[in-house]
Amino acid sequence: MAPVSPLTKTARQAQIAGILTQTRVRSQEDLAERLAERGVRVTQATLSRDLDELGAVRLRGPDGALVYALPDEPGGPGSRPGGLPGGLPGGLSTLFSGQDGAAAPLATQAGTRVGDSSAADRDPSGRLARIAAEFLLSAEASANLVVLRTPAGAAQFLASSVDHAAWSSILGTVAGDDTVLVITREPDGGSDVARALLRIAERRN
């Protein structure tokens, strides 16, 4: 199973960031075409808003042409996770900040803090759906393993929400910084779990 991104705002912005870091994009029309080639179709208004939230700026290239670029430095909050095709939205640094420079989630799209004890958080399934919609960038399965990609610093939150949802098909999870490994009970159960996680992430958007 190739990496599949849910149709969420976070995943869409990851695709945009990947395009901007890998190719020279001179206009929003050019960017929209490149997204369409990846199966992501957006309106002009949505694309403008995404670029603004990502902090994209237009810089003059060596040939004198203006191209879009992202401001964040590699390795910092919001930097692209290792091995994620398409990269990570640099603007996700707005979700992560810490007084000592460490990545710490501040807010979700719904305007609530990840650590809040909201009604959704008290319901493990609702918490998983909310966090997956916010932080799941892609899911890739092989046999009984599923690799989930998240923004930098968010993997443990996603892994914890999967654990607390207590799916009978999942043995457990292992979380790094921007990657979650999910182990399923069935030898070939990875694909089903990956598809299920993608579905619940998309349902919240």
- For residue range 137-188, list pLDDT tens digits in order: 999 999 999 999 998 888 999 999 999 999 999 999 999 999 999 999 999 9
Distance, CA of 109 to CA of 190 (rounded, Å) = 28
Q: Which of 159, 145, 139 is nearest to 189 (CA)?
A: 145
Model-wide pTM > 0.85: no
Question: How does residue 198 score in pLDDT terms, banded at 50, 70 and 90?
Answer: very high
Percent of the chain scored above 90 by pLDDT?
39
Q: Which of 37, 38, 41, 29 is nearest to 68 (CA)?
A: 29
| Residue 71: pLDDT over 80 | no
Class of domain 119-203: alpha beta
Domain with CATH 1.10.10.10 in the chain: 9-94
Was domain 9-94 assigned CATH 1.10.10.10?
yes
Domain with CATH 3.30.1360.40 in the chain: 119-203
Distance, CA of 141 to CA of 159 (rounded, Å) = 16
Q: How many alpha carbons fall within 13 Å on the CB side of residue 95? A: 27
